[in-house]
Structure 1
């Protein structure tokens, strides 16, 4: 590894987050370009936080478009801007995966039990995570999805379980077969209402992509297949269902996660864990999506949540600080 890059990586060990540099750079047009050199120049102009070894080496980024150097430099820049998937993560020692492959999340051990109430917002045609909350922990699970994919998939699962027949997801590669009995499935409540920032009727757009069964109110606006469905604010739905406290909320709603996160913060909802998939990683509206994700995560941290896990695709687990401290003390 070149000395300059080694110095850069050493510098990163002691630098978790450069919020000052990031805030200055957010408005810099150079960030919207593809050139790593433009990014370096923008960072240098905005705030002199590039470590001397990197500047002194005068690295030719043009020649390092391929290979490990480019990967390391891009990783460095993302960490500097606070948009790397590991930026701000404070991991817990004991966590486990729940759900199947892309639809799985990391859940802290000791968080959930039979008395736990879990809201799973967004279903589509894979509710492996939602079902395993019930089968693995005995939780009371409520699934929210107003679209045909989610409604029909849950109805099919109910029908197969009632008939004692196996039922699998429709994934082309690596389908998931549900393992749940009728008694456990009866403890899962399906609510055919979406979650938004107010009570209304929204248009949902079908991406019409193979092996992608998820309507969206925010993405796929050019789709010619649209349905209208009811939505409501999360605080209203909690009140209707008689819940003042939620142990876990999963948000997987194709670009609408930003609005729902804002309502959770604005309404000061009593939620212990928030698990969210930032869908723009898969379907970006533009190159600024990294900063929209960063802003949403920063808002959650300021509201008292700790980021305890993140995948490279920005599926993230947040814990309220008091819960984080309790679980961390238990595992130490």
Structure 2
């Protein structure tokens, strides 16, 4: 039901509202995943050696499965949400999909996590917004990006995908300041959660550009955006 409601909502998008989100570079694109949980990527930058970090799983691994099926990529999935952890533990996950029951934050340790108001929904958030409760919370395990890559011993990542319910605006700086080389970064934007959401998105896009990334794909909902590292296209 949560997925259906989101699809219906996205059909009502007014493109003029999102004229601050614009393609900065033309690149080959392919959609990976289903209509609700997918993202555009440049398929030419993927291979069976590719490392994928997928932050925010919920109960939908269509994006991850599509990459595994199409490119035999190695996917590392992360989600601290109790409902998502339980769902993943009960799935026959692909051999190339490795799930970790914690999320990404600016620091490692326990944090209070807001659970959805609608108990039929899955997605919780570190950010207090309309879809989550200010009273129904749970303590979850979070890890910083630097601690995650250190644990997994990765010094480069082919794709980093984030669908983390509004935390993307706070976390992107740590990712960009890391020494880890990342070819593509796909983000679901949640600017609708914030009064200054448009300004947050503009700042994020500018930060990406200043760190060598160009926006090359935007979904029909204007929420899923994909960036490519300019130097990756030169190789």
TM-score, with length taken from structure 1: 0.62
Return the match for 1:90 from 1, 15, 25.
Answer: 25
- Which structure shows the higher strand fraction? 2
8 Å CA contact retained: 1:193, 1:231: yes
- In structure 2, what is the Cα distance between the partners aligned to 1:111 and 1:150? 29
Structure 2 counterpart of 1:285: 194
Structure 2 counterpart of 1:295: 203
8 Å CA contact retained: 2:128, 2:134: no
8 Å CA contact retained: 1:246, 1:270: yes
8 Å CA contact retained: 2:191, 2:200: no
8 Å CA contact retained: 2:37, 2:60: yes
8 Å CA contact retained: 1:95, 1:107: yes
The Cα of 1:207 is off from its aligned counterpart by 1.8
Highest CA radius of gyration, 1 or 2?
1
8 Å CA contact retained: 2:157, 2:182: yes
* Secondary structure, counterpart of 1:224 in structure 2: strand
Return 5+ residue gaps in structure 2 as ranges: 1-13
Return the match for 2:116 from 207, 215, 226.
Answer: 207
* C-alpha distance 78-155 of structure 1, shift in aligned 2 (>3 A): closer
8 Å CA contact retained: 1:199, 1:231: yes
Structure 1 counterpart of 2:167: 256
The Cα of 1:112 is off from its aligned counterpart by 0.9
8 Å CA contact retained: 1:99, 1:130: yes
Indicate yes or no: 2:221 matched with 1:324: no
Return the match for 1:197 from 82, 100, 106.
Answer: 106
If asked which structure has higher relative contact order (CA below 8 Å, sep 6+), I would say: 2
Structure 2 counterpart of 1:152: 86
- In structure 2, what is the Cα distance between the partners aligned to 1:304 and 1:78? 23
- In structure 2, what is the Cα distance between the partners aligned to 1:190 and 1:280? 27
* C-alpha distance 259-78 of structure 1, shift in aligned 2 (>3 A): closer
| Cα deviations by residue, 1:218-242 (Å, 9 ceiling, x for unpaired) | 1346443211111111121111111
* Secondary structure, counterpart of 2:86 in structure 1: helix
The Cα of 1:124 is off from its aligned counterpart by 0.7
TM-score, with length taken from structure 2: 0.86
Q: 1:63-102 alignment to 2 at 5 Å?
A: 75=16, 79=19, 83=20, 85=21, 87-92=22-27, 94-102=28-36
| Cα deviations by residue, 1:14-71 (Å, 9 ceiling, x for unpaired) | xxxxxxxxxxxxxxxxxxxxxxxxxxxxxxxxxxxxxxxxxxxxxxxxxxxxxxxxx7
Indicate yes or no: 2:24 matched with 1:109: no
8 Å CA contact retained: 2:145, 2:175: yes
The Cα of 1:186 is off from its aligned counterpart by 2.0
- In structure 2, what is the Cα distance between the partners aligned to 1:96 and 1:313? 16
The Cα of 1:109 is off from its aligned counterpart by 2.0
Structure 1 vs Structure 2 CA RMSD: 2.0
Return 5+ residue gaps in structure 1 as ranges: 1-70, 159-181, 327-332
- Which structure shows the higher helix fraction? 1
* C-alpha distance 248-78 of structure 1, shift in aligned 2 (>3 A): closer
Q: Aligned residues, how many?
A: 219
